[in-house]
């Protein structure tokens, strides 16, 4: 690989940037991630992963290492802190939430990208760039330059890449701010738990609980929305706010991290300008209600990776790269709708409380609980691939095929045809698309579950597991292979 010329530069080595780097490496793309921070952050923002992200980990062979580092909790059935009275069983082989502090998620994704050969340059800040017809020249804080064919801004909510492109970021400015800190406390564990429970009955934006290694993670509303959010809060400010809400600061000390976040809610007007793209928080921000931001970023990367790789390799069909925005912008918009709704539902205002009571009753209906749970979990997403059966455009859940598990067959990030007829072929696309015959042998126990899932002889899955075609005719298959994978 060349030292300072790459196919793709990713600005930002958070979960979105490293997931994208790994996805690009699956296709041999020469990618470098430039990350401003010299050391990984210890700040625990996200606390876990939802069902669709867990499926994605399984689709890339990462599940075991994530399970070994996390804790499984029952999934589904919770919205704005309201629990469904009955368990909601979702249509996934992984119906649980994986509890995991964000630094662990970040580390595991970074390791995965590095194992696949991505370069990560820490302590390297992007300060500007210029694009031309052939590529992008990135300017770094140390005065050096990097050249690439594409640049992706995965540089978080205050994305420099987005600002330099002048891409609009409409939405609502922050009206509330919270302080988030992690440290040790002198108060006894049962006292912390008891006080937290009482305070949360009136202030749902407050919370304190163990975060491992004897530490506690506390979130408390700030006194006001600060003018300059790049300045971290002080320990005094944190203690004052804890006392204001809980009547005690729990004797918090030896802080490991202290930061602020707000309820600002915004969505980028475009995710692409020429050879520069946006993904993750750089494209959308919202309060962390429902714990969706990191999940959304990983899923953006999963959608973009194979498309950008095809553009790099010169085999991307017309419109493929722009389908990234067409597919992911509505998904982010939907997440913003969910977080806006939850922001209202946790308010102490009488009107909001009345809506909360009503929703609590509605969530007693199994269909309502399922509807909300599916949306938060990210498994109900259906991209618009045109008219067709209900499953078209949806991700296929993991099913047992006559030759193993479906998700085990998708680890290389290629397209996949699962064929029950044995008569189809992907000849002409075999460098981009795998083929598996799913003809159950009636004399053995290896009966495929596919027929129960898809009532059709064959399916074409994109590298992100979404169903691109359902049918049995070779001609129809080839039309869709061309549409998603380019000419033979």
By CB under 6 A, name the binding residues for ligand FAD.
Answer: 11-17, 34-37, 45-48, 102, 125-126, 154-156, 160, 180, 261, 280-281, 288, 291-295, 297
Q: Kindly tell me which of 338 and 468 has the beta carbon lying closer to ligand FAD.
A: 338
| Residue with smaller CB distance to ligand FAD, 47 or 377 | 47
DSSP 349: S
CB 46 within 8 A of CB 98: no
Report the residue number, 43 or 417, with the smaller CB distance to ligand FAD: 43
Rounded least distance, CB 77 to ligand FAD, Å: 17
Closer to ligand FAD by Cβ: residue 194 or 223:
223
Least distance (Å) from ligand FAD to the CB of residue 296? 7
- Smallest gap, in angstroms, from Cβ of residue 177 to ligand FAD? 11
- Which among 127, 464, 470 is positioned nearest to 310, based on CA atoms? 464
Residue appearing with tokens 């399984």: 58
CB of 482 to ligand FAD, least distance (A): 33
Pinpoint the alpha helices (H) of 293-440: 293-313, 322-345, 350-362, 366-377
DSSP structure class, residue 348: -
- Identify whether the C-beta of residue 413 lies closer than 8 Å to the C-beta of residue 395: no
Phi-psi region at 461: left, alpha or beta (left = phi > 0; alpha = psi -120 to 50): beta
Most distant pair of Cα atoms in the chain: their distance:
72
Which of 259, 258, 260, 239 minimizes the C-alpha distance to 250? 239
Which tokens belong to 295? 């999940």
Nearer to ligand FAD (CB atom), residue 61 or residue 291: 291
Place of tokens 């469904």: 84
Residues written for the chain? 488
**Least Å distance between CB 179 and ligand FAD?**
10
Nearer to ligand FAD (CB atom), residue 18 or residue 402: 18
Q: Quote the least distance from Cβ 26 to ligand FAD, whole Å.
A: 19
């Amino acid at each position: 690989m060349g030292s300072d010329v790459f196919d793709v530069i990713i600005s930002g080595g958070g979960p979105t940037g490293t997931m994208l780097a790994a996805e690009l490496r699956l296709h041999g793309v020469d990618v470098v991630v430039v990350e401003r921070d010299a050391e990984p952050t210890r700040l625990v923002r996200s606390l876990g992963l939802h069902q669709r992200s867990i499926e994605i980990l399984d689709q890339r062979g990462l599940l075991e290492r994530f399970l070994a580092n996390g804790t499984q909790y029952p999934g589904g059935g919770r919205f704005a802190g309201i629990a469904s009275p009955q368990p909601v069983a979702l249509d996934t082989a992984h119906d649980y939430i994986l509890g995991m502090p964000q630094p662990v998620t970040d580390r595991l994704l970074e390791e995965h990208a590095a194992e696949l050969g991505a370069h990560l340059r820490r302590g390297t800040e992007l300060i500007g760039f210029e694009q031309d017809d052939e590529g992008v020249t990135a300017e770094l804080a140390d005065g050096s330059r990097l050249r690439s064919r594409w640049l992706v801004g995965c540089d978080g909510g205050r994305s420099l890449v987005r600002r330099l492109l002048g891409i609009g970021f409409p939405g609502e400015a922050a009206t509330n701010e919270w302080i988030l800190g992690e440290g040790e406390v002198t108060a006894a564990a049962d006292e912390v738990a008891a006080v937290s429970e009482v305070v949360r009955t009136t202030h749902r934006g407050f919370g304190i609980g163990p975060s491992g290694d004897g530490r506690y993670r506390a979130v408390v509303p700030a006194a006001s929305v600060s003018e300059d959010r790049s300045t971290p809060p002080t320990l005094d400010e944190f203690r004052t706010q804890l006392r204001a809400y809980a009547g005690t600061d729990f004797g918090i000390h030896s802080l490991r991290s202290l930061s602020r976040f707000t309820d600002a809610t915004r969505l980028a007007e475009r995710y692409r300008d020429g050879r520069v793209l946006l993904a993750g928080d750089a494209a959308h921000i919202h309060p962390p209600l429902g714990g969706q931001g990191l999940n959304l970023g990983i899923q953006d990367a999963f959608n973009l990776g194979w498309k950008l790789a095809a553009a790099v390799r010169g085999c991307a069909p017309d419109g493929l790269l722009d389908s990234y925005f067409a597919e992911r912008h509505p998904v982010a918009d939907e997440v913003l709708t969910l977080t806006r709704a939850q922001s209202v539902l946790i308010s102490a205002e009488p009107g909001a409380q009345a809506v909360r009571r009503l929703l609590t009753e509605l969530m007693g209906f199994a269909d309502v609980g399922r509807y909300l749970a599916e949306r938060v979990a990210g498994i109900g997403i259906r991209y618009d691939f045109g008219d067709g059966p209900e499953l078209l455009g949806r991700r296929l859940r993991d099913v047992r095929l006559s030759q193993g598990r479906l998700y085990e067959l998708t680890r290389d990030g290629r397209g996949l045809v699962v064929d029950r007829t044995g008569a189809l072929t992907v000849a002409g696309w075999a460098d981009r698309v795998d083929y598996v015959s799913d003809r159950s042998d009636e004399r053995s126990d290896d009966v495929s579950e596919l027929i129960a899932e898809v009532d059709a002889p064959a399916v074409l899955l994109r590298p992100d597991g979404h169903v691109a075609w359902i049918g049995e005719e070779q001609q129809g298959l080839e039309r869709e292979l061309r549409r998603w994978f380019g000419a033979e």
